Structure 1
Amino acid sequence: MTQLDEFQNQLYLSEEDKKQGFWMQDEVHLAHALSPLYASYMLPAMTHGTKKAFETVKSPVLQFKMKYSDGRAYQATPPYPGNFEERLGEHQKFAQSRFPVMKKVLFDYVDQELLPFYNQLDDARRGPLSREQARQLVQQLHAFYERAWELHFEIVTPRSALCMALESLYGELTGEENATAVYELLTGVMNKTLETDRELWNLAEQMKAVPEVAAVLLKEPSGEWLAKLSETEAGQAFLAKLELFLEAYGYRTQNSHEFLDPTWVENPEHVLTTLSEYIQKNYSFEGEFTKGVRERERKYEQTLSRMPEGEKKAVFVQLYQWALDSWGLDEDHHFYIDAMLPAKSRLFLLEVGKLLVQEQVLTETDDLFYLHYDELVKCLAGTQKIEAEVIAERKRTHEENKQKKVPPFYGEPPAGMGEDPIISRIFGTKQPEVSHETFNGYGSSQGIYTGVVKVVKGPEEFSKVKQGDVLVCRTTTPPWTVLFSIVGAVITDAGGILSHAGTVAREYGIPAVVGSRVATSILKDGDLVTVDGTSGVVTFGKR
């Protein structure tokens, strides 16, 4: 590695850092290797944004300190430097004040801050852009990243407190030992991820209604789909509908958290690949969603009938209504912050890269993503030149990092860390129990299913998943939800019952075992497994 300057020194995890603290890799959200430029934006934003957000919400955690090693993000969680019990009480009081308005808070920020800034990025990339204008907006984007992640945690932290309060009261009133069953009462709630899936299914139905359009995806090679569709009037009409879909929902990338990956807007083949699977399946999104709503309502009434009358039941009913109203928050905030922010940033940064290629500062447009933030600012200011050999070396290092098996943590875990209910619900802290025929994780979506395994490393392998397969992967993010109406069950290495995979599996009514830690190591394509999403056990091997 070349000599690091002050900004980069703050970015990278040093040997001294590893000795002095506990640093955990976030396998649920940032499991992949990050490019230098994305790390330069994301990690300082998390470090400084969480400090501001946690002060606002009165969190007993000071901040999430983020650093970079072998291309992966590692997180330290220093406690608030004061009286823990007093701070916890302040946090609970703040969270309770937000319970009734969590959804409104998110969409106020979307309308007042997030979308206006994204529009500013769009305007900049469409018009003539000077180096000075690019430099100023690159710096504004860095500051906005911090603000966006401050908003992110201000928005989502009260939801975690509501989950814990609801879960605790549910267990007390029903007597159930596993109070996480309460989350089965929170399915059938529309959110931006499900809304995206619904519109995809609508597109599939429209394709099926025009056989000559559907035939293109079924009979022609995937690389020729766009060209073939543009040859006919019916195909052109469909492409116009596809363009409208992409304008509303196309700001997704392969990993969500990255600048390197093309967005759906840039490469509609991602959407067409999904549609090629959907048009072969007889499935009604609206019908299944309506059925899910009715089942949720039935379970809720049944649950209420088991609870003793009194003040606590009335409190549960109120907490439940607030939870139901805000349950889409998890996927909604991801749509507008986790996914849309890097997607909009990428499209703007590509224009900056083109500008630097035109002015012979860089050789290729995507060389930009292998710069650090401070280097990009200096290149735009004309005070630094990065040699092509340095970029080439960083590209090689990034490819090597993608293949590396990195330590899950550095340092000694603090006592009691695995007992934190919020951490275990989101990240999963259970150690796996493995025998010659079974392993376990968290049962995050009830039911039992037996099927054939497909181990999927990333969206580039989505096409190998067929109807009824068991999806096995490290973790999932919203781009993966296109598979949930195809597969029969889900198993992940990472995550707890409130992780993305667990939440979406409940929405689709498919069994899921998450946080197994070992699924992708033990299972291979073609294995026959039984997934028990109620007990959290996966049976494999000899049956």
Structure 2
Amino acid sequence: MFGKKAKAMTPSAARKSFVSPYDLPAPKGAEGWQDLYPYNLVFQDNLKDKENSKFWFCDSQHWPNVFKPFETVGVEFAVRCLGAYNTRHYIIPPANGIEFRIHNGFCYMSPVAVAPELIGDRVPHFMERAGYYFQNWNTLLENWKKKVLSTIEEMDAINFEALPDMVDIEVITSGAGIDPTAKMMADYDRLIQLAYKNWEHHFEFLNLGYVAYLDFFGFCKESFPGIPDLAIAKMVMGVDSVLFRPDDELKDLADLAVKHNLTAVFAKNLDAAGTLAELAGSADGKKWIAAWEKAQEPWFNYTSGNGFYGSDVYWRDNLDLPMGYIQDYVVRAAKGEQLHRPKDALIAERDRITGEYAELLDGEALETFNGKLGLARTVYPYVEDHNFYIEHWTMGVFWRKVRQLSRLLHSYGFWTEPDDMLYLTRDEVRPVLFDLATGWGVGADCIAPTYWPQEIERRRKIVDALMTARPEPAFNEPPAEINEPFTIMLWGITTEQVQQWLGADEGDPNQLKGMAASPGVVEGTARVIMGPEELDQLQQGEILVAPVTAPSWGPVFGKISATVTDIGGMMSHAAIVCREYGLPAVTGTGSASTKIKTGMKLRVDGSNGTVEIIG
């Protein structure tokens, strides 16, 4: 799927291969880390030759942090479902799924090729199956929302409670013949199943959204030789996506504060509780509080992370996060700044570029162009919409229930910290629940308090040690040419990028090359951000440099002047969000977050995909 293997290089040239995962040692103190994860997620010694024949890249775009054992649920569900819809549902001609492994705590991927001789046989199946969805997109998507919201509601209704000293008398008088431990174990299983169900729904539409864009992209490349990738992306920008709605709600609240002359309250920079207490003392303040409370459901089911980690903090669980963003917005709104995305300007630019290229076509070619563009624009919003419904809302409810169960078991003395269940795999939790049920049922001590605290401490030390090392960008020998469109479009992993990783490009150390992800040229001061917990360090006008951004970082985009990331392609969340916010962006640089230091002066050219350190 990637292409042919790279040819051997001379000793004086850059190395031709990345290290094998079998030859990469664990960080000191992390020895034995493989035991923390399911057997099928780690490289097995008896498969060494087979696994070393594949090229693996680190997906730090979606999973930038070391996994605690329970957190593998996200990558397991997401990548399995992605593959199934490519391979078994829609029979996408050139693309099967993606193999994935965890190594030293990080996620590595290797796309599975479709044999060239089989592609033709898959086309009619794909046309029938995908065609049905494209022809009935709006109706099916409306049904999709109902399914997803129903699953979220069912998951939210799950409640893990302490076991009673004796069952309620109604259990006796009704003849129920069952105790609450059965419900607890069933609810745990159902929690896992419901999360899995919404990940199935997640990919019901997502890959088709990418396919429609790739089809339009391919037509443009063939019809307009030399057309920049960015020009094609501009033709579908200016979308209305629910992913932007949480940030828009905060901006509306800031405008409302200025309208009601409440700026002095927000200027005090109190926490959420303090701000609300101040506002409650006036009629206009009470009106603002009512608007604030109305915005919370569902839009505060939003995390500053990406939803894949149990430690992600959601706005609804920490109201200081959205209140902090509002306080910043109020200052800017009071100065007369336009807070909302420049949607009208984006649409004008979109229509201008579309018109210029359409004028080059006529007849059947123009009709085809308009048809493919129309489909791409119809399906394109889902490429971002899913992120709110699944990664944010679904996973927010899921992690909240996981923490509730973990804290219940903590109250029984099963482990030392409230959220320590994250150090168990999901399959290890069910025996723990039966241990609780057994101790409760027979009136004896449970085994867990004598076993799990020390075992979790051992695992905690391993995870902490894994966090001390940055992941290798890739493993094994890369192909001579990377031409798989999903890999390029989503992750920004190109032939040139891989060669940079290997050290083939020993040019100007002050120059970085990446994807021209969002147009514009700016100069400014760099602020290197390694995770959402550091976002409060950003100052007005700085250039955000990060391994990867999350779409939920939208509220800080009003502060920054440009974005630079290590990983991400033209259709990565970072690229899409920056285009929609009108910010220059260069993605997929490979090493910006390590080569650039906070305080450096940068020149970012998002139209050409270059970053220059100028001071």
Q: Same fold (TM over 0.5)?
A: yes
Match for residue 337 of structure 1? 390
1:215 maps to 2:279: no
1:437 maps to 2:510: yes
Q: Give 1:91 shift.
A: 6.2
C-alpha distance in 2 between matches for 1:287 and 1:71: 37
The AA in structure 2 aligned to 1:56 is: H
Please say if residues 540 and 560 of structure 2, whose CA atoms lie closer than 8 Å, have aligned partners that are also in contact.
Answer: yes
The AA in structure 2 aligned to 1:313 is: L
Q: 1:459 to 1:47 in 2, by over 3 A?
A: closer
Higher-RCO chain (CA-CA 8 Å, sequence separation at least 6): 2
Match for residue 67 of structure 2? 34
Match for residue 547 of structure 2? 474
Cα deviations across residues 190-239 of structure 1 (Å, max 9, x unaligned)? 00122222112101112223444x3344334x5x4423422433455544
C-alpha distance in 1 between matches for 2:493 and 2:89: 27
Q: Give 1:532 shift.
A: 0.9
Structure 2 counterpart of 1:44, from 53, 76, 99: 76
Structure 2 counterpart of 1:520, from 589, 593, 605: 593
C-alpha distance in 2 between matches for 1:42 and 1:57: 23
Identity %: 23
Q: Which has the higher helix share?
A: 1
1:403 aligns to what SS in structure 2? coil
Please say if residues 91 and 125 of structure 2, whose CA atoms lie closer than 8 Å, have aligned partners that are also in contact.
Answer: yes
Structure 2 counterpart of 1:388, from 453, 458, 461: 453
Q: 1:348 to 1:537 in 2, by over 3 A?
A: same
1:181 maps to 2:235: no
Structure 1 counterpart of 2:337, from 255, 263, 283: 283
Match for residue 14 of structure 1? 44
Cα deviations across residues 110-150 of structure 1 (Å, max 9, x unaligned)? 212x2112111211238888443232222223333433333
Cα deviations across residues 473-500 of structure 1 (Å, max 9, x unaligned)? 1111221111222211111110111111
Q: Give 1:102 shift.
A: 4.1
Structure 1 counterpart of 2:118, from 72, 81, 84: 84
C-alpha distance in 1 between matches for 2:467 and 2:137: 37
The AA in structure 2 aligned to 1:168 is: G
Q: Which moved more, 1:407-416 or 1:476-485?
A: 407-416
C-alpha distance in 2 between matches for 1:3 and 1:47: 22
Please say if residues 514 and 588 of structure 2, whose CA atoms lie closer than 8 Å, have aligned partners that are also in contact.
Answer: yes
Structure 1 counterpart of 2:429, from 365, 376, 380: 376
Q: Give 1:442 shift.
A: 0.8
Please say if residues 20 and 411 of structure 1, whose CA atoms lie closer than 8 Å, have aligned partners that are also in contact.
Answer: no
The gaps in structure 1 that reach 5 residues or longer are none
Q: Give 1:97 shift.
A: 4.1
1:144 maps to 2:144: no
Match for residue 419 of structure 1? 483
Please say if residues 566 and 587 of structure 2, whose CA atoms lie closer than 8 Å, have aligned partners that are also in contact.
Answer: yes
1:124-203 alignment runs, 5 A limit: 124-125=158-159, 130-203=180-253
Match for residue 347 of structure 1? 400
Q: Give 1:77 shift.
A: 2.8
CA RMSD in angstroms comes to 2.7
1:169 aligns to what SS in structure 2? helix
Structure 2 counterpart of 1:357, from 410, 427, 435: 410
Please say if residues 36 and 459 of structure 2, whose CA atoms lie closer than 8 Å, have aligned partners that are also in contact.
Answer: no
Please say if residues 260 and 369 of structure 1, whose CA atoms lie closer than 8 Å, have aligned partners that are also in contact.
Answer: no
Q: 1:272 to 1:79 in 2, by over 3 A?
A: same
C-alpha distance in 1 between matches for 2:286 and 2:421: 35
Q: Give 1:471 shift.
A: 1.0
Cα deviations across residues 225-277 of structure 1 (Å, max 9, x unaligned)? 42342243345554443333222112223232112222111001111121122
Match for residue 581 of structure 2? 508
* Alignment length (residue pairs): 535
Match for residue 250 of structure 1? 300
1:488-499 alignment runs, 5 A limit: 488-499=561-572
Q: 1:62 to 1:283 in 2, by over 3 A?
A: same
Q: 1:241 to 1:14 in 2, by over 3 A?
A: farther
Structure 1 counterpart of 2:462, from 397, 417, 421: 397
2:316 aligns to what SS in structure 1? coil
C-alpha distance in 2 between matches for 1:260 and 1:352: 15
